[in-house]
Amino acid sequence: MTTILATLDGIAADTRCGNMRVRKVLRGPGILVASAGAAYFSELLARWVIDGRRGPPPAWDITYEDADDKAHETELVILRRDGLHTMDARGAELHSLRPWVALGSGGDLAAGAYLACGDPLRAVELAAEEDTGSGAPVEWYPFKRGRK
């Protein structure tokens, strides 16, 4: 349960995971990766992306029929110099044609709020108030473009 909204300038994400506070955005050289889904698996997949995708993705053995494992529902948003990308639990990546991407259980709420207010941090704050799986505080991770 998560609310994430990424723009070309950075990523806003709630920090709630059950009764705990967690960081849902990881930073690497020239990259930000935010994850929604099973916490442990989300971090494995995000680190695989940040580390240059050496070897098969950690999701290679997960089947969608495994009802007891929510790892298959994991999704990432990746922000690099070449724009925004989404990735599913099996490592399939798509380039976003929009300048923003919303994910997680509160993603639709955040998208609507962002279209109304234009502020990604405020949009996630508003969505997290309404989505029972998300919660404050909301963190903002600016994207540092640097040199190509």
> Which domain CATH number covers 49?
3.60.20.10
Please count the structural domains in the chain: 1
Residue 147 maps to a domain: no
Residue 137 maps to a domain: yes
Residue 131 maps to a domain: yes
CA distance 57 to 122: 33
CA distance 69 to 136: 26
Residue 118 maps to a domain: yes
Residue 135's domain comprises 4-142
Residue 148 maps to a domain: no
Digits of tens for pLDDT over the chain (148 positions)?
799 999 999 999 999 877 788 889 999 999 999 999 877 788 888 999 999 988 888 865 555 454 445 667 889 999 999 999 999 888 889 999 999 999 999 999 999 999 999 999 999 999 999 998 898 899 999 998 765 5
